[in-house]
Amino acid sequence: MIRFESVTKRFRGGGIAVDALDLEAPTGKITVLVGPSGCGKTTSLRMVNRMVEPTSGRIWLDDRDTAKVRPATLRRGIGYVIQQAGLFPHRTVVDNVATVPVLLGLPRRDARRQALDLLERVGLPRELGERYPAQLSGGQQQRVGVARALAADPPVMLMDEPFSAVDPVVRAQLQDEFLRLQGELGKTILFVTHDIDEAIKLGDQVAVLRTGGRLAQVATPAELLSHPADAFVAGFVGRDRGYRALGFAAAGELPLAHEPVVTVGDALAATPPRAVDGWALVVDAERRPLGWLAVGGLGEAQLSGPVVEDLLNLGGTLATESGTLREALDAALSSPSGRGVIVDEDGRFAGTVTASEVLTRIERRASVLRQEAIESAAAEVIALQP
């Protein structure tokens, strides 16, 4: 657990970076600090490992007052990942990862062996260990940065915009793997970002800071989207939040419709009878959906061949049975046939839903939530009465 106890940072010019921050980052969870530039989020992060000293207030790591621990000792016990990785250009990848264990006194050979295992853990081949950081792509460097922070197995990790310097595709990959890794490791993580979407995707808890270093709201991502505390948070959380909030609502049991499927490699002539409204769903031998085939668009000549992947429309997204309402709605909206494809846990085709079916489900959920909100407001009024 990381606990900020009315922490203030005033710079020498008199400007306030962080203003009386009270915040608790619970053990084993990801707490995201998010806000516009100048909101003091990075300063707050850097006060935890004393890269910046607070002007007043205390920061606790469990029951340890960080001000009472020697900075170098404190930092060796806290993993730290920064933007652009900040790897040491003069050390090989494996030596970069072994940095903290070596500082802690582990023999270099043991530290290197352990570092190679860690590279695999963050999804890099061991062969990269002998390279220098300059020989790696931005995404690879960032993975090395994460491995280096994990090397001494610290219970607490600080991450300062670790994924913001890579392109969107790599960023999404790194985020997914980060969540998978955190699922295995359960570190106490304080994560800084200016990107609200990243905050909502990664955070168990999101703390929104406003300019001047004041805390605007601390909540779960779903709560933040559905009940922003004030106009600032609402504006910062941004557009589409009604839609994005569906990303936290389990779809539950959807009314799946049966859909005849075509297996890739089948004769094309066999597809028209299996098409509904001119579209046939094509799956592979394992019944995993590959794409939609527009049967009406096929010429006489083509109908003599087999179904090949080149003919398929790949526009539709897939939703899993145990997924969210957002995934299900998106699958329906993006499907060229208008029928969203739902797959089971193994990625095999389970059935289809239409957008209106998902919307019915959304409406029903919303009305339950509205009713609950009215009841809890009423309960508050009663509690306030003398």
Which residues lie near other proteins (CB under 8 A)?
49, 51, 72-77, 80, 82-84, 86-92, 99-100, 103, 132, 134, 148, 158
CB of 91 or CB of 288, closer to other proteins = 91
159: closest CA among 140, 171, 176, 142? 142
CB of 73 or CB of 385, closer to other proteins = 73
CB of 100 to other proteins, least distance (A): 5
CB of 305 to other proteins, least distance (A): 52
CB of 140 to other proteins, least distance (A): 16
CB of 74 or CB of 333, closer to other proteins = 74
Residue 183 near residue 177 (C-beta atoms within 8 A): no
Cα four-point dihedral sign 288, 139, 197, 177: positive
Cα four-point dihedral sign 86, 89, 90, 96: positive
Label the pairing between strands 56-61 and 64-65. Answer: antiparallel
Burial classification of residue 383, based on how many CB atoms lie within 10 Å of its CB (0-12 exposed, 13-18 middle, 19 or more buried): exposed
Distance CA 175, CA 201 (A): 8
CB of 50 to other proteins, least distance (A): 10
CB of 84 or CB of 114, closer to other proteins = 84
CB of 77 to other proteins, least distance (A): 8
Which residue in this structure is represented by tokens 């009663």? 382
Q: What is the DSSP string of 293-316?
A: EEGGG--TTGGGSB--GGG-B---
CB of 102 or CB of 229, closer to other proteins = 102
Residue 275 near residue 261 (C-beta atoms within 8 A): no
Distance CA 42, CA 106 (A): 31
Label the pairing between strands 289-294 and 279-283. Answer: antiparallel
CB of 161 to other proteins, least distance (A): 12
Angle at 147 (CA atoms; ends 169, 185), nearest 5 degrees: 90
CB of 150 to other proteins, least distance (A): 12
CB of 68 or CB of 239, closer to other proteins = 68
CB of 44 or CB of 271, closer to other proteins = 44
CB of 119 to other proteins, least distance (A): 17
Sheet with strand 349-354: strands edge to edge: 318-320, 339-343, 349-354
CB of 98 or CB of 245, closer to other proteins = 98
Distance CA 318, CA 352 (A): 10
**Which H or E run contains 171?**
helix 168-185
Which residue in this structure is represented by tokens 């023999």? 107
CB of 122 to other proteins, least distance (A): 17
CB of 103 or CB of 303, closer to other proteins = 103
